Amino acid sequence: MSEIRFPLPDVGEGLTEAEIVQWRVAPGDRIVLDQVFVEIETAKSLVELPSAFEGVVSELLVDEGRTVDVGTPILVIQTDAPDADAAAPAPAAAAPTAPTVPAPPSGTVASHAPAASEGGGAVLVGHGSSGPAPTRRKRHPIPGGAHERLATRAEPEVPAPAPPAPAAGGDTDVAVPATTPVRPESRVPVIAKPPIRKLAKDLGVDLSRVAATGAMGEITRDDVIREASQASVFRNIQTPELPTDRETRVPVKGVRKAIANAMVQSAYSAPHVSVFVDVDASRTMEYVKRLKASPDYAGVRVSPLLIMAKAMIWAVRRNPTVNAQWTDDEIIVKHFVNLGVAAATPRGLLVPNVKEAQGMTMVELATALEQLTLTAREGKTQPAEMQGGTITVTNIGVFGMDTGTPILNPGEVAIVALGTIKQKPWVVDGEVRPRFVTTIGASFDHRVVDGDVASRFLADVASIIEEPALLLE
């Protein structure tokens, strides 16, 4: 038997340090190839590390919550191999049959092991097999345009519950879990998709008391928000008492450290210039209402942010220099749009981006935006999803803000802020009428974007918000 001290690896994003968030194993547990044994937090994402070795965990060297440098030993594994080199998994091609994975003893964390055709264990930088790289499990989106699972946690396998019998009156496309709540007055199962259930949990809403307005009797997002009488998951539901301690000290690390470094870099390296415009968004609100009623958008989140995203993509085509990058030697104008969306999450501000948004239809863009925001709120956004952005939108209107002066996402030269949309007095044909009005703000890197280009770009965005039919031209 030999001992392996597993170091914190570089997971392929230029990692220098990471925080140990949660151990998935304990001393005495048997660990197998590809088993996720720890969750770490890098600069802006949570990453699950799979084991490249097989054996018994003898010691956890780093406590949860501690930040360590890459290369620091974090785990000790006792293997059955005579030496550490023999502990590495052999190439799948050398084995005549699929390896038999020993069943974990009671009290251990169960996991899956790849078949021989998958090529062996997970490959980390500096670890893993010499055979072909394993094929990762295909992502399967949750029906209805909800988020994709970015990682599968290792859990004990249990038999799948038998599906409930369909209610009288026909089939439904919305699955009802075996543990679904029922309405006390009628014992009718509550029908709601997983993202809606999570939203209800975040808002403290009892789904059995929510009146469903979905076309097939399911509870919608609007139903949950209406029941909670609030517009955002991130608004406080109750006002807590002041802590008895005089002060709280929060270490600057992880996401907060990354945000601070990025904002300082952006604010003090790129000369910002900001412009603002008030817009009559009444036709956008009508357009959003029509899209929500369309069968093509069933189960897809539709909001004014979708129209704003389309407006920005259209305006980029007319003003390409706002979709660029500054270097000391040249200006790189991008002829594709990776649209960043600033997302407020429990872990802090994240800016994942929709790749190749310029080629998406309205339905495809709506689905991509929903998946992006839900994944960000779950803290499952991966580093690759936050890299390569070309222009960003931030929706501060969801917090009731009229406008603001957004700071550029590093590496980009333009960011647009959508303010709250609410009814205000507005002059139409010489008469004052109530209209849905919003304020759009935008900041630009003045090294790349001159004032006239900035103004034309924002005017183009505003023209779409005022008249979405222009997108059809």
Active site residues: 446
Maximum Cα–Cα distance across the chain: 89
Give the CA dihedral 13, 14, 15, 16, nearest 10 degrees.
180
| Three-state DSSP state, 282 | helix
For tokens 């980390």, what's the residue?
Answer: 124
**H helix or E strand, kind and range, residue 314:** helix 304-318
**Cα angle, residue 465 at apex, residues 463 and 467 outer, rounded to 5°:** 65
C-alpha–C-alpha distance, residues 181 and 162, integer Å: 16
Q: Which of 352, 325, 349 is nearest to 339 (CA)?
A: 352
Structure tokens, 33: 């190839």
Rounded CA separation 399/321 (Å)? 30
- Closest by CA to 448, choosing from 330, 280, 354, is 330
Return the amino acid letter for 469. A
Give the Cα separation of 139 and 118 in Å (integer). 16
Q: In whole angstroms, what is the distance from residue 471 CA to residue 162 CA?
A: 47
Other CB atoms closer than 10 Å to residue 310's CB: what's the count? 21
* Helix orientation angle between 194-203 and 221-228, rounded to the nearest 10 degrees: 10
Half-sphere exposure of 116 (CA within 13 A, CB side): 11
HSE (side-chain half, CA atoms, 13 Å) at 80: 7
Other C-beta atoms lying within 10 Å of the C-beta of residue 199: 20
Strand partners, 342: 394
* Angstrom distance (rounded) from CA 22 to CA 10: 18
Q: What is the DSSP string of 228-277?
A: HT-S-TTS-SS-PPPPSSS-------HHHHHHHHHHHHHHHHS-EEEEEE
Torsion angle of alpha carbons 197, 241, 400, 385, nearest 10°? Answer: -50
* 441 SS3 class: strand
CA distance 51 to 369: 33
Q: 280: closest CA among 472, 471, 465?
A: 465
